[in-house]
Structures are given as structure tokens and as C-alpha cells.
Amino acid sequence: MHRRAFVTLSAAGLVSALTGCGQEDEGFDLGKDVNVPQRLGFSQVGSESGWRLANTRSIKKAAGLREIDLTFENADGDQKKQIAHIESFIEDRVDVIAFSPVVESGWDAVLRRARDAGIPVVLTDRLIDSTDTSLYVCSIGAEFISEGNLAALYLGNTFAKAKKPATVVEILGTKDSTPTRQRSEGFAATAAKEKRLRVVGSEPGDWTKAGGEAAMRKLLRSHPDLDAVFAQNDEMGLGAVSVLEDAGMDPGQKPRIVTVDATKAGLQALVAGKLTYVVECSPEFGDDLMDVVVDLCLGGTVPRRVESEKAVFDKASAEDALPDRTY
């Protein structure tokens, strides 16, 4: 079995690596024979939504095309399961570990074990909350704060001529996850700057349609006269639509509904007028992940951050995008 060589960044090099997308660190050189399949252990956060299922398909397809030996595990939203997956990958001496963290905190101990074993770790979709920046070499995913910014900017412009700030509620994802926190932060920051939106309440919807329905029912009881809803993914937004229609309201018009992801179901609802605006968060970054795996194994340089695709959709642009939508 080959010996992995872990490259430690100098303080200056680490600062440079963390300064943003496009900066490259020294990477790992695992000394892999080019003819030996790279071994990747991947732990998926769950299968809670159409977005997540599309993300899983993208990763599995890309691994197959690159002939990467993929060990894929599903944590079903359970951090303990995910930690067990990572421990198993370390025991199996895979070449690279990648995972989408269930929550942000609580990873230091297991990731130190991976680091000490000389196995590089890649974060996908989400980040971790740790002061030890040596625990992972690269993160791949969307800029969640920007997604929240874009949602608030659209709603702010929509209500620019209103006599008073629009009343808005927010349906959040899973508590303590990176997209939940950062989308909310971005939305709040832009809303405060624009001064056209008044966020009066929020409830977690756990990224599912059923969770969005439950959150919307609770929010509607407290705030029956809503101007807008910001749902942090399409699934929860579609759940909100169902509840609002049952209440005799006209979702998409009153209240306006903005969501994130741009799945096929979300864009179809946008075209049908049930949603008002959708911010894209593409799940299709399997190729990006496999690029990183290959570079790590064969001594290439690896960027500290790889940003996934992003776009915004109104009804017209959704109609154009739907025929080619794969998720």
C-alpha cells in the first residue's frame, strides 16, 4: 500500500488559500499510480429532496465516467451516522473522503483522524464550523449568502413603490446547517439595507414539502396578512403553496413566493404562477468533485473553494430553461 504524503501549508500559504475562489493551495500528492483507480469515500447528508437526489446522481455518474472507485453512504440526516461513515473510510484507507455535513459543528475529532491518516477531506454543498482550517483541503458548492441576497433584492424591488415595508415570513431549512444560516443571513442583510421588507417570523421546514407545509400553517396563523414568503428551497416553497391555496389565497401573487434551488418542479411551479422568483443552486457538481479527487491523487493543485453554477429565474426564463432541466 502506498504511503500518503500530507503537505502542511505555511501560515502565509494558508492565508493565501483562504482568500477566495480561484486561490490554490499546495494540495496533496498521494503518489498514486495513474493506472490504479482512485478510491473515494462519500457520505451524503440524506435524500430529503429532489435537489439532493439530483446531487447524488451527479456524483455517482461522474465517478463512473472517471472510473473512480466510489464508496457511497447515506447519513439520512443523522450526524452520528455520518461520523461513522467517515471513520469507516479512514479504516478502509480510501484515497479521498468527501461529505456534505448534516450540521456545521462537531466534526473536529473525526476530521483530525482523517488528517492524521494522511487522507484529504473535501466538503460538498455545506461547510463546517471549525477554527482548524487544516481539517479539509477544498469545499465545493454554492454561495448561500449571495442566494439570500438575491431573494431579498428581488422582493425589495417588487415592493419598491409600496407605502410601507412588505410583511415577509421565512421558511428555513434544517437547523444548524450552512445553507440555512447563510441564506438567512444574506436575506436579512439585504432586507435591512433596502428597508422595503419586514421579516416578521420564521419556521424550520427541514428542506421537505411536508416540512414547508407545517411551517407555513404555523406562520399563517400568526401572520395571516402576508405580502411575501421566502422559502429556502423549492420543496418547502411548494409545501407553502399548498397551504396558502387551501386558505383561499393566491400564492405567487398574494403572497409573492421566492425559493432557492431551481429544480424542475420549482420551475414548473414558477411557470404556472404559483411561485414568483427562483434562485438557482445547482446540485450538479459531481464533475467538479471528481476533478478535485483526481488532482489530489495525482499531485495536481487544488483550489480551496470551487463555486457551483448560479442563475435566477422569472416565469419567462423558467419556460426557456425547463426543456433542458435534468433535475
Report d(CA 103, CA 85) in Å as an integer.
15
Q: Where in the chain is the domain with CATH 3.40.50.2300?
A: 11-142+284-308, 144-281
Q: How far is CA 222 from the centre of its chain?
A: 29
Report d(CA 320, CA 137) in Å as an integer.
37
| pLDDT value of position 34 | 52
| pLDDT value of position 11 | 26
Q: Is the pTM of this model over 0.75?
A: yes
| pLDDT value of position 16 | 31
Sorted by sequence, the CB contacts under 8 Å of residue 163 that are 6+ apart come out as none
**Buried (b) or exposed (e) across 80-94, using 16+ Cβ within 10 A?**
ebbbebbeebbeeeb
Per-residue cell: 320? 426557456
> Are the C-beta atoms of 313 and 262 separated by less than 8 Å?
yes
pLDDT in tens, the chain (327 residues): 333 332 222 222 322 333 333 334 444 445 555 556 899 999 999 998 889 999 999 999 999 999 999 999 999 999 999 999 999 999 999 999 999 999 999 999 999 999 999 999 999 999 999 999 999 999 999 999 999 999 999 999 999 999 999 999 999 999 989 999 999 999 999 999 989 999 999 999 999 999 999 999 999 999 999 999 999 999 999 999 999 999 999 999 999 999 999 999 999 999 999 999 999 999 999 999 999 999 999 988 899 999 988 899 999 999 999 999 989
| pLDDT value of position 37 | 80
Q: How far is CA 308 from the centre of its chain?
A: 9
CATH architecture of 144-281: 3-Layer(aba) Sandwich (3.40)
| pLDDT value of position 264 | 95
Sheet with 69-74: strands ordered across: 69-74, 39-44, 96-99, 121-124, 138-141, 305-307
Sorted by sequence, the CB contacts under 8 Å of residue 176 that are 6+ apart come out as 103, 104, 105
Q: What is the DSSP string of 156-172?
A: HHHTTT-SSPEEEEEEE
Sorted by sequence, the CB contacts under 8 Å of residue 54 that are 6+ apart come out as 263, 283, 284, 326, 327
Residue 237, φ and ψ in degrees, nearest 5 = -65, -40
Report d(CA 166, CA 310) in Å as an integer.
26
SS3 35: coil
Q: According to the CATH classification, is domain 11-142+284-308 in 3.40.50.2300?
A: yes
CB atoms inside a 10 Å sphere around CB 157: 11
Report d(CA 112, CA 7) in Å as an integer.
14
| H helical segments located in 24-69 | 50-65
